[in-house]
Structure 1
Amino acid sequence: MKSSLTFIPSATGISSVIKDECLVFTHIPKAAGTTLDRLLKGVGLIKNLPWNRAFGTVYYQFLGKGKGESLDDFLSWPDSVKSDVRIMTGHVPFGAHEKMPRDVKYVTLLRDPVSRMLSHFKMGVGRGGWQANEPLSEVLRKGGLVSDVQVRMLAGITSPHDKVDDAVLERALQNLEERYFLVGFSDTFNVFTSALLGYLDAPNAFLGEEQTSRVKLSKAQENLIKEEAENFNRYDAIFYEKARSIAERKFSEFMVEPLQNPDPENGKHTIVASSQIKFNNSEYSVIPPDQFRPVVNKLVKKGVTLNGL
């Protein structure tokens, strides 16, 4: 498998930077969140901002054998951890601020509901949760997947058995409007991440793709999964479309200057955050500005594809 990295510049011209708050990333499964999670951990290490992840799944969905609930893990943290953490990630539904002494700034990434569920289905096949020919309806009946996950998580629902209705949809939209200062989408991941790096006053970044499924389904099976996914995510579909306009307005308020693609050698350090490519034998590395071009040349010689430069 050929390796690749994408360059993400840290944005300038934003309306605020992190002060004493805790950044809470509501990580919706299969919405590009693992890549962002890895980056945020690296930012925490480099900026000396205590990072912690609530490990596990959400609504008991299958994300791999033996995984508990992220919410349970979060609730088990000692008060000292909840007090100190400055960057929190994990599959925890909205509501973490109620248990944290610091002010919280929420961010999240959303994804087209059908594409998201198809991706989760493929991951489950690859990790032994179910067979490729198993009907999606059967996977949901067994609890391996749950319908309308994005609405559920943003509304603060904590049980997979709770019903999603118009009131829950409105609560999710209200939370997004009132409590999330920055909202991104998997198809505009780079723009969102650039702005978030700027908010954290963090370096530029080289990112690799994390947890991308290699499972291939037949065309007929994939089309069938998509058709079923539409039926099981009707509230997510409405939420996703309405969230677009909310996110665009928030972004325009957040960026006081137009987001540009600056020269990579802009005087800033660059984080390398990738599980596939290790620089100096470290999970996370920082390239000083004067070493940026030599490192890029070295990566190119090794056959690494570099995007965004």
Structure 2
Amino acid sequence: MVIKIRPFKEEPLLIHLHMPKTGGTTLKNIITKNYGKRKSVNVYVERRVLKHVLRNLSKKRIDCIQGHMPFGVHQFFDRQARYVTMLRDPVDRVLSEYYFIQSIPTHKLHAEVVKMSLEEYQNNPSTTNLQTHYILGEKFGKSLSEEDLKKAKNNLKNHFLVAGLTERFEESIVLMKEELGWDNINYTKVNVTKNRLTKKEISKDIIVQIEKNNLYDMELYQFAKELFEQKINSLK
């Protein structure tokens, strides 16, 4: 009798594009719990060595990659891939990031940011339109255009299985559970910024400045909300 050996069929690679200060660390823990530590790899490295790390990982049998990585990671893997991420109201994200860095002495930017006012920090080009830069995956740290925003929207619509919203975290996790067949979505919130001011406690002038400096993020976030509502409404 001839025994036919079925070829190994890999599941699509899950890529968690961990957007800074959006609840991504909590999401990372949920994903790790469902995929296991041996099959879920965390990639938090300097951008200059990211390609080298991804090339090495492409030779290994893993199910999931998580980290502060821009869109495009899938190009290093010869297999189907799907993305998930969390997006956040751009003003809230900037505020959370600023106060978080100031409150963590071990953070690599703490010594620099602790000397800055909120107004100075939000004017820093490296903090503006960060979510659009991540979803676009190109031109990190450089000026963006309307065409770049259009590309980022297309990436979000066509390549992200779920783009959750921090403000609707539980619904976002339920969506991911439904789409990916997760068993365990119990979680404890981690890396929550403490002793931070809310939007209502910040000068309106500074809020307006943050909105202007993050105009593309504002538009992308609104687009993400529309996609999110469509996903929610499609659930039975």
Shorter chain as denominator, the TM-score bin is 0.7 to 0.9
CA distance 1:74–1:27, shift in 2 (3 Å): farther
Q: Counterpart in 1 of 2:116?
A: 134
Q: Counterpart in 2 of 1:75?
A: 52
Q: Counterpart in 2 of 1:24?
A: 15
Q: Which amino acid counterpart does residue 44 of structure 2 have in structure 1?
A: F
Q: Which amino acid counterpart does residue 125 of structure 1 have in structure 2?
A: Q
Instruction: Give the one of 197, 201, 224 matched to 1:243.
Output: 224
Report the TM-score, using the length of structure 2 for normalisation: 0.81
Is there any run of 5+ residues in structure 1 with no aligned partner, and where?
Answer: 1-18, 57-67, 258-309
Q: Which amino acid counterpart does residue 187 of structure 1 have in structure 2?
A: E
Quick one: distance in 1 between partners of 2:180 and 2:227?
A: 22
Corresponding residue SS for 2:95? helix
Q: Which amino acid counterpart does residue 27 of structure 1 have in structure 2?
A: H
Q: Counterpart in 2 of 1:53?
A: 42
Is there any run of 5+ residues in structure 2 with no aligned partner, and where?
Answer: 1-9
Quick one: distance in 2 between partners of 1:250 and 1:217?
A: 32
Q: How does 1:84-233 map to 2 (within 5 A)?
A: 84-128=61-105, 129=110, 130=112, 134-139=116-121, 145-160=126-141, 162-217=142-197, 222-223=202-203, 225-233=206-214
CA distance 1:87–1:212, shift in 2 (3 Å): same
| Contact 2:119–2:206 under 8 Å retained in 1 | no
Quick one: distance in 2 between partners of 1:141 and 1:114?
A: 13
Q: Counterpart in 2 of 1:282?
A: none
Quick one: distance in 2 between partners of 1:32 and 1:176?
A: 18
How many equivalent residue pairs?
Answer: 221
Following superposition, the deviation at residue 169 of structure 1 comes to: 0.6
| Contact 1:30–1:120 under 8 Å retained in 2 | yes
Q: Deviations over 1:27-79 (max 9, x none)?
A: 11011111000111111118x7x1011114xxxxxxxxxxx33x734632454
Corresponding residue SS for 1:84? coil
| Contact 2:34–2:184 under 8 Å retained in 1 | no
Following superposition, the deviation at residue 221 of structure 1 comes to: 7.4
| Contact 1:52–1:89 under 8 Å retained in 2 | yes
Quick one: distance in 1 between partners of 2:51 and 2:172?
A: 26
Q: Which amino acid counterpart does residue 211 of structure 2 have in structure 1?
A: E
- Percent identity of equivalent pairs: 23
CA distance 1:82–1:91, shift in 2 (3 Å): farther
Corresponding residue SS for 2:168? helix
CA distance 1:112–1:216, shift in 2 (3 Å): closer
CA distance 1:196–1:219, shift in 2 (3 Å): closer
Higher-helix-fraction structure: 2
Quick one: distance in 2 between partners of 1:96 and 1:87?
A: 11
Q: Which amino acid counterpart does residue 52 of structure 1 have in structure 2?
A: V
Quick one: distance in 2 between partners of 1:75 and 1:234?
A: 33
| Contact 2:161–2:179 under 8 Å retained in 1 | no
Higher-strand-fraction structure: 1
Q: 209-218 vs 188-197, which deviates more? A: 209-218
| Contact 2:55–2:76 under 8 Å retained in 1 | no
